[in-house]
């Protein structure tokens, strides 16, 4: 049997990637149990997919834990901010929902139509903000993987790419939508591919744009300036 031909076959590549996605999914879920470690885990998973797609032949365990160690300190603060903002927005939905319910129960004799419209509008605004936050947060793992920005520059660049490439962003959100569908219909399968699977698809969708952006002259110079400043602080 020609081993080299077998290893390079599409069937072998498919099952090799299926194994990697499974392992990455389990590792990401395990390292996310600390809650504040969830975002660093997702970034590490995305970076591991990127490393493997770009030719790394190291053990997927070694690749993941190396990335987790490298990105934890850089991303844990952003993860905490995301959690806090998400909790505030969820509280906003609950607040407006309860307020609207209480106003409906008291009846139209107590509140005017304009007053009844206030919590309804407020709830839809919060839903919109949650959607926008999801679009922005989805870009952050990609940005951390491709660039070396300052802490809040990551968020600003995510805001830029979210609206600049809104079509791609919506396609990436659909990947997470598929993950939700799998969780509802095939829950056991979700534990195999529910996180790493969408991230693999997101990498494939985002790569052309982010590869171009990462190799643009302005961004390369920006990253070099940051690296030089960081070296100056340590020297």
**Which pLDDT value is given to residue 177?**
93
Q: What is the pLDDT of residues 152-201, one digit of tens each?
A: 899 999 999 999 999 999 999 999 999 999 999 988 999 999 999 999 99
The residue written with tokens 């979700």 in the block is 190
CA distance 23 to 63: 11
Report CA 220 to chain centroid distance, whole Å.
Answer: 23
The domain ranges of the chain are: 3-234
**Which pLDDT value is given to residue 223?**
52
**Which pLDDT value is given to residue 233?**
46
Residue 51 pLDDT greater than 90, yes or no: yes
Q: CA-CA-CA-CA torsion for 91, 92, 97, 103, nearest 10 degrees?
A: 120
Quick one: pLDDT band at residue 99, thresholds 50, 70, 90?
confident
Q: What is the pLDDT of residues 5-50, one digit of tens each?
A: 555 667 777 888 899 999 999 999 999 999 999 999 999 999 999 9
**Which pLDDT value is given to residue 55?**
83
Cα–Cα distances in angstroms (integers) from residue 205 to residues 33, 44, 72, 167, 173, in the given order: 28, 18, 25, 11, 11
Q: What is the pLDDT of residues 60-76, one digit of tens each?
A: 999 999 999 999 999 99
Q: Could you tell me which residues come within 8 angstroms of residue 11 by beta carbon, excluding any fewer than 6 positions away?
A: none
The sign of the CA dihedral 220, 223, 229, 233 is negative
CA distance 27 to 60: 10
CA distance 130 to 137: 10
pTM higher than the cut 0.75: yes
**Which pLDDT value is given to residue 234?**
44
Instruction: Annotate 66-84 with b (16+ C-beta within 10 A) or e (fewer).
Output: ebbeebbeebbebbeebee
**Which pLDDT value is given to residue 61?**
94
**Which pLDDT value is given to residue 6?**
53
Of the chain, the percentage scoring pLDDT greater than 70 comes to 86
């Amino acid at each position: 049997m020609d081993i080299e031909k077998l290893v390079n076959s599409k069937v072998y590549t498919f099952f090799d990637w299926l194994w990697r996605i499974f392992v990455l999914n389990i590792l990401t879920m395990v390292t996310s149990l600390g809650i504040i470690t969830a975002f660093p885990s997702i970034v590490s998973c995305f970076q591991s997919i990127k490393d493997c797609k770009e030719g790394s032949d190291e053990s997927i365990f070694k690749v993941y834990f190396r990335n987790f160690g490298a990105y934890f300190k850089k991303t844990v603060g952003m993860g905490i901010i995301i959690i806090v903002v998400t909790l505030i927005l969820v509280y906003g939905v609950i607040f407006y929902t309860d307020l609207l319910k209480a106003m409906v129960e008291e009846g139209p004799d107590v509140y005017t139509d304009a007053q009844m419209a206030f919590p309804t509008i407020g709830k839809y605004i919060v839903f919109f903000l949650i959607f926008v936050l999801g679009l922005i947060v989805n870009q952050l793992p990609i940005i951390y993987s491709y660039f070396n920005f300052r802490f809040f520059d990551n968020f600003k660049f995510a805001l830029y790419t979210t609206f600049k490439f809104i079509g791609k962003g919506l396609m990436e959100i659909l990947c997470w939508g598929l993950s939700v569908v799998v969780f509802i219909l095939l829950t056991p399968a979700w534990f195999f591919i529910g996180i790493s699977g969408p991230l693999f698809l997101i990498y494939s969708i985002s790569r052309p744009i982010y590869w171009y952006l990462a190799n643009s002259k302005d961004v390369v110079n920006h990253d070099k300036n940051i690296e030089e400043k960081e070296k100056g602080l340590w020297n």
